[in-house]
A and B are shown apart, each in its own frame.
Chain A
């Protein structure tokens, strides 16, 4: 029942882990946040306005950029699936564990459950994103309105359905523009000072994807009773990727993730 490992094996494994940990937690210094506001997008192949409380779905080709610009205080919840195999999907536990941090900022990447990079955070003005606490639900919306208006849980179900998926396919969602942090006692705090007018992100698709986006206030947002503003969704064409591309070279983990992408996709 107990498969014995020798003290020497354990000591060697521990040393190896400590080496990975040291390298991972002392990763190359990430850059300053992107300046606000987002640059003009003159060559977009798609621009869309998602009203507060609503959702949208879209497809991205590998290399294309997804620019998200909330019109003010709102959170954008995101789920993503690989094409053509949608059983490969956003995996936030791996995303944070593999990068030794729950803070996703410019220069970080977002992993699938297959050890591949789905998206790169190539531009990001705030660094205020939440991987831990999920989106709004009928209950959290009803808590303040007495009425289960549009909410992220139902938006994700609707979006998944329109992509040919169902409840079983909905992963834990990434909340962009949600300044949730963990205090020294392990409790969640909401830090609105991390956000500012004009915040934006550019996510680069690192494989062909379909995505669901929900534009709802976050349940931990103390001003969640206010109606969310419109969200601008802009798809930009692929650009050449430099050999020293930040997201592809920032960490050893990201490099190995992109090696996994290349293994199935051919050279990139």
Chain B
């Protein structure tokens, strides 16, 4: 069985991926950051942990082979394919509030990933307090040995994809990033596609 979900530019989405199913995320146009959160589908207090994921992997980026870990130290999904190379989980999602600090107070009233997450999480009975540091699929955030960190131009091409196999029933929540102040999506938000198989 296969379900296809097209997510418009700047929009949120959520869906359940059952244990054993494959989640395929496609960067349809290329250079689009896809901000993603995972929750245990039956216990939302168990959720994605960037710190556990990075530590378990021993490296600062997500790619094929990465175990997506929960805050309880359990594997939620495993990345089984990745045509882009690496993905960020250190820089979090954009928000109206962080935009003011980063890009000036005149950017406060721009739609942001955290707005998407709040609206989508509310559909599942969750609130702002349930937003944790997220995955940014296809987002290019190199961290230098001297600590320097910057959001660089995306390295994904049209049609780049990654696949994750669920090891528990998970709720996936996506914000198809609307940010237009940094190059995470080429300053030009585009649609993306999610396919659930199995």
Contacts and interface: CB of A to CB of B under 8 A. Distances in A.
A232 interface: no
Contacts of B91: 93, 96-97
Is chain B's binding surface mostly helix, strand, loop or mixed? loop
A92 B129 CA distance: 15
Contacts of B131: 113
Interface stretch (A37-45, A66-74, A234-242, A255-263): A255-263
A148 B187 CA distance: 47
**Which of A2, A220, A259 gathers the greatest number of chain B CB atoms within 10 Å?**
A2
25 contacts: A1-B9, A2-B191, A9-B187, A10-B188, A16-B103, A20-B103, A87-B127, A93-B133, A94-B92, A100-B148, A100-B149, A100-B150, A113-B97, A113-B114, A133-B54, A138-B73, A168-B44, A168-B47, A186-B60, A186-B143, A220-B55, A253-B101, A256-B100, A256-B104, A260-B100
A101 B55 contact: no
Q: How large is the interface on A (under 10, 10 to 19, 20 to 34, 35 or more residues)?
A: 35 or more
The 9 closest A-B pairs by CB, nearest first: A93-B92, A134-B51, A103-B147, A115-B97, A133-B55, A13-B187, A10-B187, A1-B8, A1-B191
B181 A16 contact: yes
Given A20-B102, A135-B51, A260-B97, 17 more contacts: A17-B181, A17-B183, A20-B103, A21-B150, A101-B149, A111-B101, A113-B128, A115-B101, A116-B97, A137-B73, A140-B55, A168-B129, A181-B147, A182-B144, A182-B147, A187-B59, A253-B101
Nearest to A188: B58
Contacts of B45: 166-168
A14 to B, nearest CB: 6
B58 A187 contact: yes
A58 interface: no
B11 to A, nearest CB: 9
**Which of B8, B101, B181 gathers the greatest number of chain A CB atoms within 10 Å?**
B101
Nearest to A95: B92
Contact of B188 (A5, A135, A186): A5
B132 interface: yes
A96 B60 contact: no
Contacts of A166: 45
